[in-house]
Structure 1
Amino acid sequence: MASLEVEEKPSEVKQNAIWGESKKMWAIAGPAILVSVSQFSIGFVTVAFAGHLGELELAAVTITTNVIEGFVFGIMLGMGSALETLCGQAVGAGQHNMLGIYLQRSWIITGITALCLTPCYLLATPILNLLRQDKAISELAGKYCKMVIPQFFAYAMNFPIQKFLQSQTKVWVMTIISIIGLGCHVLLNWALVTKLEFGLLGAAMAGNISWWLQVIAMVIYVVAGFFPDSWTGLSLLAFKSLWGFVKLSLASAVMLCLELWYFTAIILMVGYLKDPTLAVDSISICLNLQLWTSMVTLGFNIAASVRVSNELGAGRPKAAKFSIVVVVLTSLAVGVIFMAIILATKHDFPKLFTDKQLVIKAASKLGYFLAATIFLNSILPVLHRKEWQ
């Protein structure tokens, strides 16, 4: 009996270690997933409501979301992501007073970047025509792009605030704000698109209002005195060393853009097919679901980054490797669950976006490919993150 007890101890220790690491990981990943999913679901909901307006409207919103916004989103997210490195270093060095300076510096850079990229929205129709997209889709997408310019500038404010709060693990208020924002967005779409029948104008208005409500709420949270050490008010120091900040931001932007722009390339390529409206509609349904599940993976990505940084900073490289294993296995398990759901509902999930039978049938045929892609993408972003840690 004694020998049996001795044999059981290593497995019990291992189980306790896995359980302990899982709790630490979910404490970080849980809120991050909720924020990512909630904010991405704003576009997800918009596409769903637009799909029930008609095939052309669904295609136009898809082109806007995945081509025009997909192009600028990667740049804006990358420019804001530079803040993650700087804020993390400042927290580690105990220089909390620099966090507010970095946040303001990032706002300046992302704001200027937004101004420089605004012509992409204003000239969306000629850009899409130049890329040989369907003329009817390009025309409507161009009109919709102009309607959603306000939410583009909300991105410029949102991404730096996220990194500012995540670096200090102050994420639950941001999570609550994001969830409430998503709920408001659903109600606004129902009221403006379904009940008042404002069409794409209603969808654009709902998106603009929802994004700015979230950004304003988070700005108030930051400046209202909850961060006395890291936010000491506006400072002219934010205008110093901008070029060094820009170089770091550009490096982050290039890396993220290469990851995100392949979705843009897919939408553009299917736009060359014989029936572009049907092709864009069906592929957009699958891409939106894939991107939605990727937001969950992004939460594990953030958790892996924080846990590995913590353990390496404490001089525990073996613990850092163990953290990676736990995060990857958890993300893989979630990927298997999502894959099973897609396979089980491959004839039904397109109905979330449209009631057109041709589109539903075409999207259903892509179910197996969608399931496989979701499974592979459940671990790739987490592993990729470790290459530069």
Structure 2
Amino acid sequence: MGKTSASSRQPVVDKMSTLDRFLPVWIGIAMAAGLLLGRWVQGLDTGLDKVQVDGISLPIALGLLVMMYPVLAKVRYDRLDTVTADRKLLVSSLVLNWVLGPALMFALAWLLLPDLPEYRTGLIIVGLARCIAMVIIWNDLACGDREAAAVLVALNSLFQVVMFAALGWFYLSVLPGWLGLEQASISTSPWQIAESVLIFLGIPLAAGFLSRRWGERAKGRQWYESTFLPKVSPWALYGLLFTIVVLFALQGEQIASRPADVVRIAVPLLAYFAIMWGGGYLLGAALGMGYQRTTTLAFTAAGNNFELAIAVAIATYGPLSGQALAGVVGPLIEVPVLVALVYVSLFLRTRFRDSTESPDVPREVEDAR
């Protein structure tokens, strides 16, 4: 990594729109609004919870789909081969997500919540649910490699379908038994996980791919990237804010009524996000991946699929269980922490000489801001 002057840091901030520049403020307002709505509007959480199909909340699904589509529409799918050929990136991501991540959450949960078995189990489930949704937008805001993010998220999705139940059985039952600790259980099926992946990744991925394919064929790449993308880009953040409001409205009463428990759950989560993101960043920098792919590696390692974790916890232990509350607290902590890490990444960008960034590839995330 090489040093650059402070002046080279300024353009990244200057090119941000008002919406992006004050993103932490809008997210804070969205979280507060959701919590207050869930607490003050009688029956809102129950009403929202009933709007679901096969256990999937339709309002949350709508928000996530709106959030993910613009980012996946920006991906240059003809460049994905440059990512799949990067074995260092793929292997590093698999190790961070499926070896280090679950093991770290298991260790933190047992070290910091030895007296709270329900919350401990909920956190372990969170650690097993690797991110396939919000990481897309965190990576884009931090000017990470879009193509790499798309590939790593797809890879995580495949592993999630195959490995989630097996790792849940290992970390909740087998490993505690070996260590003489209290055992737990998990109830989920490969189809339940595949359904989550198909909805929250498959639909926006297909829509983004088809948008680029048809848009470029009809009017060319220049029109698509300079006219179409700037129009749809803001909807990613609108979808994010809507999702946050709905999520916290659903769980506002539970969070507000158990503040001490929320603090206990937050401590291992804070440690987890910091270690995973920092570890991913250090590993990417040490392997010489450059800023974009290092950033993508860090965010895909730190993020989690809160929708899947909450759904599994509710299906196994019930909606009012401690395990479900731990899943709900996950995004309560993850959202502000990863937003803060977006700004840390943008600051660190000035310290990289990025050999992977091609000057002929426009960055709408910067240029449109």
Is TM more than 0.5 here? Answer: no
CA radius of gyration, larger in: 1
Could you say which structure has the higher helix fraction?
1
Q: Which has the higher contact order (CA 8 A, sep 6+)?
A: 2
**TM-score scaled by length of structure 1:** 0.29
**TM-score scaled by length of structure 2:** 0.30
